Structure 1
Amino acid sequence: MEQLKLGDWTLTWLNGGVTHLDGGAMFGVVPKPLWSKKYPVNEKNQIELRTDPILVQADGKNFLIEGGIGSGRLTEKQLRNYGVHEESKVEQDLEALGLQPEDIDAVLMTHLHFDHGTGLIKNTDHGEEPTFPNAVIHTSDVEWEEMKTPNIRSQNTYWQQNWKAIEDKVEPFHQELEVIPGLKMIMTGGHSTGHSIIKMENGGETLLHMADLMPTHAHSPELWVMAYDDYPLDSIAGKETWFAHGRKENAWYTFYHDYKYRAVKWNEENEIVESVERNTD
């Protein structure tokens, strides 16, 4: 499990499973000859997209960023269509760190699409139950409302099976939430109506988790946004704003989906100057 220190906070990437989705959809109007130079693609035109939650241990608390793809909660058809070659091992990874699901204090959900939220619930002999029984689940109020009442487009990714069992755990926030001093969730919109990013500041260092405004390192150009984005111009505006801020602060950028990088720093020329790479052994 890869780790990154931010001041005296520790970030650890857990194995939340993997999907393989269409590369063209993931890079929108960007031509394949351009994006395929930056991100590998298979013979089905699919790219590997991790769904790996980040454990943030800060100020004596255990937080998770995102929930993973879950285990045993997708149908055979869904496993095939979404290219799920590996399901979540979050509970096993927590155990290896000396933790249990009950030790998670809060889950910070940037948005509630199936590839982020399916792992919030597990199947048991008693039916569907929260995977992290003692955790508060934070997401924006706009995102939570769309999760429960999706439109004709978003109903393909906001599933009732992913919110009914956790309804009493969710504490929606409006616009911005400071979870603890230095750890904020900020609603940006763009990828979804209520999409949020996460900003961390500790020990004189800054970190930005852009979530699906920038799902992989290859999405760093401001105009490279997904066909999956509901409001692509808002995605572009959010990337412009937070890239300018991050470069000024020499910030780390972290990823949930990237096949190769867990975290990177870029210089003004958009070159990676420091990184934490995923261990594929």
Structure 2
Amino acid sequence: MEKLKIGDITLTWLSGGITYLDGGAMFGVVPKPLWTRKYPVNDKNQIELRTDPILLSVGDKYILIESGIGNDKMSEKMKRNMGVLEESSVEQSLQELGLSSSDIDIVLMTHMHYDHACGLTKWENDRLISTFDNAIIYTSDVEWEEMKNPNIRSRNTYWKENWEAIQSQVRTFHGEQEIIDGIKMFHTGGHSDGHSIITIENQGELLIHMADIMPTHAHQNVLWVMAYDDYPMTSIEQKQKWMKTGMDNHAWYSFYHDAHYRAIKWDNNGEIIESVKRVRE
């Protein structure tokens, strides 16, 4: 498991599952000859994407960013369509660290699409229960409202199986929220109406988790947004803002979906100056 230190805070990437999604959808209107220079593609025009939660060790607290793709939530047909080759092993990852899902104090959900939220619940005796039973779960008020009342476009990604069992644990915020000292969530919109990003500041260091408005390192260009984004111009505006903030402050950027990099620090010319690469087994 790859790790990164931001001051006194340790980030550890867990194993949350693998999907292979259509490269054209992941890069929107960007021509294939351009994006394939940045990110490998297979003969089915699919790109490998992780769904790996990030565990934060902050003093005596354990905080999780996202929850993984979960287990036994999808039909075989959906797995084929979504290119799901491996489901979640988050609980096994935690066990390797001497922890259990009950040790998680807080879960930060940038948004509640199925590939981020399926891991919030699990099957036990033919019913769904909370995976992280002792955790407070944070998401924006806009995202939570759409999760419970999806529209005609979003109902395929907001599932009651992922929220009904955990609704008593959810705390929503409007605009921005400091979760604990140095860790904040900011509502951005863009990918979804309620999408948020996360910032971590400690001992003069900064990390920005852009979630799905910059799902991989290849989406560094502010104009490269996904066809999956509900509000692409908002994604572009927020990327402009947070890429400038990060580069001006020598920030790290972390990834949930990237199959090649866990985190990257760019200079003002967009060149990689430090990175944490994903180690392939």
TM-score by length of 1: 0.99
**d(CA) in 2 for partners of 1:42, 1:95:** 33
Secondary structure of the 2:265 match is strand
**1:126 Cα deviation (Å)?**
5.1
SS at match of 1:55: strand
Residue number in structure 1 paired with 2:90: 90
Deviations 1:145-184 (A, max 9, x none): 0001011111111111111111111111111110101000
Please name the residue that 1:184 is paired with: 184
Distance 1:231 1:70 in 2: 26
Distance in 1 (CA, whole Å) between partners of 2:143 and 2:62 is 23
**Structure 1 position 152 matched with structure 2 position 152:** yes
RMSD, aligned α-carbons: 0.7
Q: Distance in 2 between matches of 1:8 and 1:114?
A: 32
Q: 1:59 Cα shift?
A: 2.5
Q: Paired residue for 2:73?
A: 73
* 1:118 maps onto 2:130 in alignment: no
1:32 and 1:224 mapped to 2: Cα distance?
12
* TM superposition shift of 1:127: 0.8
1:55-107: per-residue Cα shift (whole Å, max 9, x none)?
00112110000010011221111111110101111000101101010000010
Q: Where does residue 127 of structure 1 map in the other structure? A: 127
For 1:77 and 1:131, how far apart are their aligned partners in 2? 25
- How far apart in 2 are the matches of 1:147 and 1:201? 29
What SS is found at the alignment partner of 1:256? coil
SS at match of 1:74: coil
Aligned pairs for 1:119-268 (under 5 A) are 119-125=119-125, 127-268=127-268
Q: Does structure 1 retain, via aligned residues, the 8 Å contact 2:248–2:268? A: no
- After superposition, the C-alpha distances for 1:23-72 in whole angstroms (9 at most, x for unaligned) are 00000000000001100111111111100000001121100000100112
C-alpha displacement at 1:213, in angstroms? 0.5
Q: How many residues were matched structurally?
A: 281
Matched residues in 1 for 2:126 and 2:174: separation? 34
Identity of aligned residues (%): 63
Distance 2:138 2:120 in 1: 12
Aligned partner of 2:39 in structure 1 is 39
- Which deviates more from structure 2 when the two are superposed, residues 90-99 or residues 159-168? 159-168
Letter of the 1:253 partner, please give it: Y
- Whether 1:276 aligns to 2:276 is yes
Tell me, what secondary structure is at the counterpart of 1:185? strand
- Normalising by structure 2, we get a TM-score of 0.99
Helix, strand or coil: the match of 2:85?
Answer: coil
**Using the alignment, how far apart are the partners of 1:147 and 1:203 within structure 2?**
36
> What SS does structure 2 have at the residue aligned with 1:139?
strand
Runs of 5+ unmatched residues, structure 2 = none
Secondary structure at 1:262's aligned position in 2? Answer: strand
The corresponding residue for 1:15 is 15
Measure, in 1, the Cα distance between the counterparts of 2:116 and 2:43.
26
- CA distance, structure 1, for counterparts of residue 84 and residue 68 of structure 2: 12
In structure 2, what residue type is equivalent to 1:122?
A: K
d(CA) in 2 for partners of 1:57, 1:41: 34
1:42 partner letter: N
